[in-house]
Chains A and B, each alone.
Chain A
């Protein structure tokens, strides 16, 4: 350090600054803060406990074929019919992944294509492109994103439908910083440009993780007056519970929805149950009879509207290799 500062005049001029920076970064690493996780995954634990993202109705069959493990190459055929909310569809999907690249594609029977491309430059720096391509005009979407995770912070930039001619589109920037070993705070800004009009809004985030990482509380305040608060707790080895409160306090609309969910992870099955303040009770059971065959049953009763929905599904996996062979090779860790 001393030899470089004497040899270069620039280094000697900058040395007070670099010293301060060095001392600051040493002080920062001495705090021993861990990475708070990304803003996108702020409520990941709650989402995986609740069955909102897993619920389906009608009949469903998913046939997945693992053609290769390293690199991962998988094709899926999904059939769904008799749903009350969605028309019957057939969906073909393909996934290719190795340790630095993830490619996924989906095409449905109407010819809509969903694609995703993730490239991990390093383990903490990932670029993502997501596209939705449709025959109808106006249903196309492209999503460019870069994710960077530092030692105690996460940064993310996103552009939604950026137009190369007038720079229109939606731009997101988010930052989440660990302040203590438990608490992380951050913000997410949205900049919207469309035909000469621009609009910027910022929402604020906070995440508190229990010391044993067995409970997580998050809050997100949006400028429109919406507040989302979640709480997730690991009750035991196999049981997780999550609560979610969504408040809207806008001049036009005042609304609140609370959701309570429970998830059991048993050896051969996963069971999720959920209750919310709109009067809905729902449950989903995923039972694995064999490593390659799973059976799903779901049900929902809306007590206030007096309506019910049920669903049934099968998931069949087949591969060119025997389960023993597949178990020997560790699957790749693609950038997600």
Chain B
């Protein structure tokens, strides 16, 4: 069993990872899709529902 201090640290790391995932997941998919797509789409097509 980890000590109290380590537990606190683990919880902080998990919470930080959760926040990163919350704000970064969708941009990450869009980045991966945008760079790997063939042919590469234009940015306006990516975000606007109408274009």
Which residues of A come within 8 Å of B, CB atoms? 63, 65, 67-68, 70-71, 73, 75, 77, 92, 94-96, 98, 103-105, 107, 113, 115, 131, 133, 140, 164-166, 320
Q: Can you identify 14 A-B contacts, CB atoms within 8 angstroms? A: A65-B45, A67-B45, A68-B36, A68-B37, A68-B41, A71-B37, A73-B36, A75-B30, A75-B47, A94-B29, A96-B36, A105-B29, A113-B26, A165-B11
17 new A-B contacts at CB < 8 Å, known A65-B45, A75-B30 = A63-B49, A67-B33, A70-B38, A71-B37, A73-B34, A73-B37, A73-B41, A75-B46, A77-B49, A94-B29, A103-B32, A113-B26, A133-B22, A164-B14, A165-B2, A320-B39, A320-B41
Contact of B22 among A70, A75, A77, A113 (CB under 8 A): A113
B25 within 8 A of partner (CB): yes
Contact of A133 among B14, B18, B38, B47 (CB under 8 A): B18
Q: B48 CB to closest chain A CB, in angstroms?
A: 9
Given contacts A71-B36, A73-B37, contact A94 B26 (CB under 8 A): yes
Interface SS majority for chain B: helix
Q: How far is the CA of A20 from the CA of B21 in the complex (A)?
A: 49
Residue numbers in B under 8 Å from A77 (CB-CB):
49
Contact of B41 among A67, A70, A115, A133 (CB under 8 A): A67
Residue numbers in A under 8 Å from B2 (CB-CB):
165
Name which residue of chain B comes closest to A167, CB basis: B1
Q: B23 CB to closest chain A CB, in angstroms?
A: 8
Q: Are A133 and B46 in contact (CB under 8 A)?
A: no
Given contacts A70-B38, A165-B7, A165-B11, contact A115 B21 (CB under 8 A): yes
Q: Are B21 and A131 in contact (CB under 8 A)?
A: yes
Name which residue of chain A comes closest to B26, CB basis: A105
Name which residue of chain A comes closest to B49, CB basis: A77
A to B contact number (C-beta, < 8 Å): 71
Q: Are B29 and A103 in contact (CB under 8 A)?
A: yes
Residue numbers in B under 8 Å from A65 (CB-CB):
45
Residue numbers in A under 8 Å from B7 (CB-CB):
165
Residue numbers in A under 8 Å from B49 (CB-CB):
63, 77
Residue numbers in A under 8 Å from B36 (CB-CB):
68, 71, 73, 96, 98
Residue numbers in A under 8 Å from B45 (CB-CB):
65, 67, 320
Residue numbers in B under 8 Å from A104 (CB-CB):
29
Q: Are B33 and A133 in contact (CB under 8 A)?
A: no
Name which residue of chain A comes closest to B23, CB basis: A113
Name which residue of chain A comes closest to B37, CB basis: A68
Interface centre among B18, B25, B36, B46 (most CB of A within 10 A): B25
Q: How far is the CA of A107 from the CA of B47 in the complex (A)?
A: 13
Residue numbers in B under 8 Å from A68 (CB-CB):
33, 36-39, 41
Q: How far is the CA of A289 from the CA of B14 in the complex (A)?
A: 48
Q: A253 CB to closest chain B CB, in angstroms?
A: 36
Q: Are A164 and B10 in contact (CB under 8 A)?
A: yes
Q: B13 CB to closest chain A CB, in angstroms?
A: 9
Residue numbers in A under 8 Å from B32 (CB-CB):
96, 103
Given contacts A67-B46, A165-B2, A320-B45, contact A105 B10 (CB under 8 A): no
Q: How far is the CA of A227 from the CA of B3 in the complex (A)?
A: 44
Residue numbers in A under 8 Å from B34 (CB-CB):
73
- Of all A-B residue pairs in the complex, the 10 with the closest CB atoms, nearest first, are A68-B37, A73-B33, A133-B22, A77-B49, A67-B41, A96-B33, A94-B29, A105-B26, A115-B25, A165-B7
